[in-house]
Amino acid sequence: MKPATIAYLLGPLGAVAGPCRPKSSSSTAVEVTSSVTTASTQSTAAPTSTMDAPSTTEAPSVTPTVTASTTSSSSTTTSSKTVPTGSGLDALMKAKGKLYFGTAADSGTLDKRENAAIINSDFGQLTPENSMKWDAIEPTRGGFNFAGADALVAYAQQNGKTVHGHTLLWYEQLPSYMDSITDKDELTSVLQNHISTIVGRYKGKIRAWDVVNEVFKEDGTLRDQNVFFRVLGEGYVRIAFEAARAADPDAKLYINEFHLESGTSKKVTVGMAAHVKKWLAEGIPIDGIGLQGHLGGANPDAKGMRAGLEVLAETGVSELAITELDIVNAPASEYAAVVEACLEVEPCVGITTWGVSDVDSWQSQSSPLLFDTNFQPKPAYDAIVAALS
């Protein structure tokens, strides 16, 4: 998430927050469109498809069972108790009055039958890991590659899942043409066109959007070493949210950030909480705050999650969500604590893990997800089932 520095390199304690990093995936044919031309090209940046006339193959129909056990304490042992289809994590979460238990995916993930089986059984919402980021979806100025995003949205619709769009504005993974923009009016136009084109294409098909992503430093001040702040100042936040609201008035609009798992840190209090209160008072249409939830290693642990949620619930937004959850070595107690925190704070509407299994995780070396490299549920899965039961 942060620029690559020594503090953010992978180490024995895991990676410091930042899964918005791309993970390479296989690509198919790409449709690139602009306001004046339509052309075909080959993409290496993201999986591909088209929405209006999907070129992807429909995901296999799978009726899996998921296994779980409440007796193992190891974070790596495979669980053994059978959980019937239809009583997976999403169904259990909804039975508690929440909206979803979701996961991140893209075409490369969905193409694996094992992932499709798990998603269909356990997850009710999908977040595109990379295919909606700026460099993947508008790689050339005015030229949009909707293929990977279309494939994910089509899969979600075919399989009864909602979608959380990610992400419309982020200072990372930008194509090179963005850095050459120095004029305020020009960047405003580029930003508005980017957001209105993407959100408008999926109007009514995407439940919520991460409109702006990772805008705060650890001291609570706004990141200033990026083209958006450099040219537009803080005003880019209003421009982005207003463009998204105009393009789809019914979508929930989020600001998304890492290291919010605290009730006292400056990033939470001086940064997110204070700014969101101010922006709402100024009429900026922010509906939700996303707490990414990259935990363990050099990142926070789960003990501060409830406090962070409680502080952010006081900002005036209607929703909170844990948007990118993964925990180094997947300790069962930590996953259970995150789920319990969401259950205890009413505005928390759902949880999304940042990937299905360790095979596709952005930090697979730290085994941070609920399913192992053999696509088997871990004790952390069992702990979540217990917390939701």
In the block, residue with structure tokens 């790409």: 30
Q: Are 358 and 328 in contact (CB under 8 A)?
A: no
Convert 191-217 into a string of H (helix), E (strand) and C (coil). HHHHHHHHHHHCCCCCCEEEEEECCEC
**Structure tokens, 144:** 């949009």
Reading the block at residue 20, the tokens are 């918005």
Helix (H, G, I), strand (E, B) or coil at 328: coil
Q: Which of 257, 261, 324, 334 is catalytic?
A: 324
Give the list of residues 6+ apart from residue 380 with CB closer than 8 angstroms, or none.
Answer: 75, 327, 330, 331, 332, 334, 335, 336, 370
Active site residue 129: no
- Residue 375 φ then ψ, to 5°: 65, 25
Residue type (1 letter), 249: P
Residue 160 tokens, joined: 């009864």
Residue 118, token pair as written in the block: 């798990």
Determine the 3-state secondary structure of 79 from DSSP: coil
212 is written with which tokens? 């702006």
d(CA 195, CA 43): 21
Q: Which residue has the tokens 């996953």?
A: 335
**How far is residue 131 from each of residues 37, 107, 313, 334, measured CA to CA in Å?**
21, 9, 30, 29
| Known catalytic membership, residue 114 | no
Give the SS3 label for residue 178. helix
Q: What Å distances lie between residue 267 and 10, 160, 219, 261, 270, CA to CA?
A: 23, 36, 6, 10, 6
Closest CA to 342 of 312, 317, 322: 322
- Of 214, 257, 319, 334, the catalytic one is 214
Neighbours of 249 (CB within 10 A): 10
Supply the residues annotated as catalytic. 214, 324
